[in-house]
Amino acid sequence: MKRLNLKILCSRSTAIAVMGLTALHAAAQSEAYPTHPIQLVVPSAVAGAADQLARMVSGALSGALKQQVVVINAPGASGVIGVQKVTSAKADGYTVLFGFNQLTTINPHLIPNLRYTNLSVSIVTLRRIGTPADERTT
């Protein structure tokens, strides 16, 4: 199985994220974007794989957008706390979810009275990112 270079993976992920944020901006506002720091909400614990990847992407996004991208960890309740933080924020493109597929595919079936069963937000899929635990060893 081919391994992707982490630098290439981050640059591709950043490019796709910038395109997604640009599309959100065009639909949401007509003023210059971004005019203040962007919050990148990670619904998992600090120092985990998702947090580390979000911090790499946020650094690249900060450079590309010429604006600070702040990573905010909101762990707990299988990611529900982080998603609720994003869905309750103003829909202006300054609060972005850095999530994983469990939030939209598994949680709605396992958690009763989930407040975000029908996400009315734009979902930008960066790419399936593998970790060493995902790879087969033969």
How big is the CA angle at 114 (ends 113 and 117), to the nearest 5 degrees?
Answer: 120
Against a cut of 0.85, is the pTM above it? Answer: no
Question: What is the number of structural domains in the chain?
Answer: 1
pLDDT digits (tens, 9 = 90+) for 42-85: 999 999 888 988 998 899 889 989 999 999 999 998 888 988 89
**78 and 107 in contact (C-beta within 8 Å)?**
yes
Question: Is 16 part of a structural domain of the chain?
Answer: yes
Task: Pick 127 or 12 by higher pLDDT.
Answer: 12
Question: Is 97 part of a structural domain of the chain?
Answer: yes
Strands (E), the chain: 38-42, 69-73, 95-97
Question: Is 134 part of a structural domain of the chain?
Answer: no
**127 and 117 in contact (C-beta within 8 Å)?**
no
Question: Is 138 part of a structural domain of the chain?
Answer: no
pLDDT band at 1 (very low <50, low <70, confident <90, very high): very low
Question: Is 114 part of a structural domain of the chain?
Answer: yes
Task: Write down the pLDDT at residue 30.
Answer: 57
- Bridge partners of 41? 72, 97
Question: Is 110 part of a structural domain of the chain?
Answer: yes
Question: Is 58 part of a structural domain of the chain?
Answer: yes
Residue-number span of the structural domain to which 62 is assigned: 6-125
Distance CA(50)–CA(44), nearest Å, equals 7
Q: Mean per-residue pLDDT for 83-103?
A: 85
Task: Tell me which residue of 113, 85, 112 sits closest to 99, measured CA to CA.
Answer: 85
Question: Is 135 part of a structural domain of the chain?
Answer: no
